[in-house]
Chains A and B, each alone.
Chain A
Amino acid sequence: MAQHNPAVPTQHSPHLAHHFDTLEQQYDAANAGMWLFLATEIMLFGALFVAYAVYRFVYPETFFEASRHLAIPAESPWYLRSVFLGTINTTVLLVSSLTMALAVHAAQTGKRNRLVWLLLATMVLGTVFLGIKGLEYFLKYEEHLIPGPNFIFEQANRNQAQLFFLLYFIGTGLHAVHMVIGLGLLAYLVFQSRKGRFTPEWFTPVEMGGLYWHFVDVVWVFLFPLFYLIGLHE
């Protein structure tokens, strides 16, 4: 605990809120709060993964066929197959996580220009990810794989396959919504860091934005193999 002597006015950072003793303590509270929020996010996506696990457990053959349909549709060139687009997208997201981690490092070491450029790079990569995701959704639309009255699946278990695609669209859609929110947070961070708001002494928003971005990356790390990769082998 910091010792306060009211007789001596203490110099303290303008970023230090009055209910904290030190910046260190304030940072620890922010970090713990952010992780508590991420824990609730794990529960949100977790319910989706549980639904996936149940239906994959109950309908393993249909999930294999449906994933095959999703990843390697018969009549499309290799560069329009979801297994290719999805692998590219995973790489894009991993690179964006690297640029985000480097951005936090730049904030820690007080390199303002580098921080701005790395945040912008992360935004560009996030936008590329959403663009490729949009292309994939369009291709699924053309292949009549959107659940609903126009859903076409030329095999007996049509409705079981619809469940797979429903989970695919809700899972990747919820993930894409998180990406859009992440892009908004990054835009705010770019704006603030251009004004020189962050210093090696105080850069908590950059660190918290980074945690959010990496979390969204972790969700994709699980979505990708579970939806794209389970129907590839013969």
Chain B
Amino acid sequence: MEHHIIPLRTYFTIFGALLLLLGLTVGVAFLDLGPFSVVVALSIAFAKAILIVLFFMHVRYSSRLVQIFAATALLWFFFMISLTIADYMARSGDWPPSPDSGPLSLAEERRLW
């Protein structure tokens, strides 16, 4: 069976990069970047995930079919999250009612829907 054998060096390099990114994400978390902190945290998380998927999981060296499967899974996840968040962003400020505010009256319920 012909397989691409990734040299050991590559695995250690990727591992080093993953540790660096871990240190970076913990360090940056102590800084107040306002709305950018979530962007930075998720960018670093995606960078780590991509390194693991491409090299440790060999997707970079896999068949085109496997690459499409991996990419599609991510695409569908983005559909799920973007459509859901778009819905909540389009609603008024008091939706959903806070779990701390107690049960709503029927009139309030109707107004919110």
Which residues of A are interface residues toward B (Cβ below 8 A)? 23-24, 27-28, 31-32, 35-36, 38-39, 42-43, 46-47, 49-50, 53-54, 57-59, 83, 87, 90-91, 94-95, 97-98, 100-102, 105, 108-109, 156-160, 162-163, 200-202, 207, 210-211, 214-215, 217-218, 221-222, 224-226, 229-230, 232-234
Chain A residues with CB under 8 Å of B22's CB are 87, 90-91, 94
Residue of B nearest to A232 (CB): B29
Known: A229-B41, A230-B41. Is A210-B72 also a contact (CB below 8 A)? no
Chain B residues with CB under 8 Å of A49's CB are 77, 81
Chain A residues with CB under 8 Å of B2's CB are 24
Option from B45, B56, B73 in Cβ contact (under 8 Å) with A42? B73
Q: A214-B57, A233-B31 are in contact. List 12 more A-B contacts (CB 8 A).
A: A28-B63, A32-B65, A42-B77, A46-B77, A53-B84, A54-B85, A87-B22, A91-B19, A97-B18, A102-B8, A102-B11, A218-B53
Q: Verify A101–B11 contact, CB threshold 8 A.
A: yes
Q: Verify B88–A58 contact, CB threshold 8 A.
A: yes
| CB<8 Å pairs between A and B, sample of 27 | A24-B2, A32-B66, A39-B72, A43-B77, A46-B77, A46-B81, A49-B77, A50-B80, A54-B84, A57-B85, A58-B88, A90-B22, A91-B22, A94-B15, A94-B18, A98-B56, A160-B100, A211-B57, A217-B52, A217-B56, A218-B48, A218-B53, A224-B25, A224-B45, A226-B45, A229-B25, A232-B29
Chain B residues with CB under 8 Å of A109's CB are 5
CB-CB contacts of B1-36 with A at 8 A, as 1s and 0s? 111011010011001001100100110011111000
Q: Report the minimum CB–CB distance from A98 to chain B (whole Å).
A: 4
Q: Verify A158–B100 contact, CB threshold 8 A.
A: yes
Chain B residues with CB under 8 Å of A217's CB are 52, 56
Q: Secondary structure at chain B's binding surface: helix, strand, loop or mixed?
A: helix
Q: Verify B63–A24 contact, CB threshold 8 A.
A: no
Option from A39, A43, A97, A221 in Cβ contact (under 8 Å) with B45? A221
Which residues of B are interface residues toward A (Cβ below 8 A)? 1-3, 5-6, 8, 11-12, 15, 18-19, 22, 25-26, 29-33, 37-38, 41-42, 44-45, 48-49, 52-53, 55-58, 62-63, 65-66, 69-70, 72-74, 76-77, 80-81, 84-85, 88-89, 96, 98-100
Chain B residues with CB under 8 Å of A108's CB are 3, 5
Chain B residues with CB under 8 Å of A46's CB are 77, 80-81
Residue of B nearest to A204 (CB): B1
Q: Report the minimum CB–CB distance from A37 to chain B (whole Å).
A: 10
In the bound complex, how far is the Cα of B15 from the Cα of A91, in angstroms?
A: 10
Q: Verify B41–A156 contact, CB threshold 8 A.
A: no
Known: A39-B73, A214-B57, A218-B49. Is A27-B66 also a contact (CB below 8 A)? no
Q: Report the minimum CB–CB distance from B26 to chain A (whole Å).
A: 6
Q: Verify A233–B8 contact, CB threshold 8 A.
A: no
Q: Verify B41–A47 contact, CB threshold 8 A.
A: no
Residue of A nearest to B29 (CB): A229
Option from A28, A97, A156, A230 in Cβ contact (under 8 Å) with B56? A97
